[in-house]
Amino acid sequence: MSAQGGEEGRGGNGRNEAHDPALEFLSKAFRSYYFRHVESVEIPEDMRRREFGYLNFEGAMVRHLTFPNEGEFKAMMVREAPRSAYCSVAYYDSPGLAMEEKGYRKADLAFDIDSGDLNLPCTEKHDFYICGSCGEPFRIKADKCPRCGSSDVAAVHFACDRCLGAAKEEAVKLVDFLELDFGVGPGQTAVYFSGNRGFHVSVVGSKYETVDQRGRAEMVEYVEGKGFGLKQVGLLPRRTAEELAPKLPLVGERGWRGRVASVVYGVEGLGSQEALARAFVEQPDRIGSLVTKAIEEAGVKLDEGVTIDTHRVFRMGGTLHDKSGLLKKRYASLDGANPLDDAVAFGGEPVRVNVKYSPEFRLLGTSFGPYEKESLELPMYAAVYLAAKGLAVPGRGK
């Protein structure tokens, strides 16, 4: 194993395990999990060409690690029991060296869909801010705590079934783009629950491995629908209905035009090229807004930086997420996927915890909370979930 390049400090909210009961609790829980389930961690293709890294419970990011085989990597996972574990999307000649010396070859495609980017109304019910000094929770974003004035304020994010359902829809759309528009084979695409609030999609072994960052940016813009508008649909320049109709898309047409057609032609009174052309001539603003909305709905909302950055390290499949204690879980199909059940990694043995604050949340079909300054017993998986969000610490007694 090589650790050339040293450590990069990040994460952990500056907390030190030796002085933080919640982190000590999480560290023991994660260590127990990896001791029992390390074989569930996914090993990437051509691991000798990959850079590995992990976030430890002291808040330091250790990078530029290399492993000659699966056994040595899994031994590290059991020994270190990291808070998060990552692997590069890139393949290098010498992955253990500093970035400028690695010798970049190519990179997998990686996509990140986060429900926090979808502007969902449910976030107002379960997301909030909390003061690290006095523990005061509050809903309205502020640089300072409204109670004590401390600037030690952190955002806390939960995920509900609505969040993850919306993120899953985005992932389904993305896979559709990859397979139908980019010709990526089904066997080259892997879809995961990220372990927290969304989904990851990886493309391995495709013809796009050698596409540079600029090309990846263009791919992202395409699936997002940027630059696609009325002109590309065939509605501009404005002409008579007879002139417009033959230029409009057909249902079943490949690419963006077909996607827009499948939405717009489903609107009452707009079921054909001719009807859409006539409506546009008579009500251009209404139809223009309708088409724009169809484009927005058909596009995929992504964290653009993840796909563009060919040197990024990506969370590994089968590992625990540091903000939830849930697994990054792979799905062969998203039909019926229910991450708040499927990705629970810990058992249900009772654990006494002191909860600072928590909105209502659901795991394994059970609803918990809301809680505020309570000492109670929770199943281990729920206790880990709240501790990972910095909201619970181990309690004492019964």
CA distance 298 to 256: 8
The tally of CA atoms less than 13 A away on the side-chain side of residue 199 is: 29
Residue 112 annotated as catalytic: yes
CA pair distance 168, 193, nearest whole angstrom: 9
Question: How far apart (Å, rounded) are the C-alpha atoms in residues 321 and 195?
Answer: 5
Q: Distance between CA atoms of 110 and 195, rounded to whole angstroms?
A: 16
**Distance between terminal CA atoms of the chain?**
45
Catalytic residue among 20, 108, 114, 322, which? 114
Annotated catalytic residue 46: no
8 Å CB contact between 115 and 340? no
Which neighbouring-strand residues pair with 203?
Answer: 109, 189
- Cα–Cα distance measured from residue 20 to residue 32, given in angstroms and rounded to the nearest whole number: 19
10 Å CB burial of residue 332 (0-12, 13-18, 19+) is exposed
Upstream peptide bond of 350 is cis (omega within 30 degrees of 0): no
Check 152, 303, 309, 342 and give the catalytic one: 303
Catalytic residue among 20, 112, 127, 322: 112
Q: Would you call 97 helix, strand, or coil by DSSP?
A: coil
Q: Helix, strand, coil: what percent of the chain each, to 5?
A: 40, 25, 40
Find the DSSP H helices in the chain: 21-37, 70-80, 123-126, 161-176, 213-224, 230-233, 241-244, 255-264, 273-282, 284-298, 304-308, 339-342, 380-388
| Closest C-alpha among 71, 126, 101, 2 to residue 385 | 126
Q: Are 316 and 42 a contacting pair, CB within 8 Å? A: yes
Q: Which of 263, 244, 262 is nearest to 253 (CA)?
A: 262
Residue pair 90/51 in contact by the 8 Å Cβ criterion: yes
R_g of the chain computed on alpha carbons: 24
Question: Where in the sequence numbering do the catalytic residues fall?
Answer: 112, 114, 303
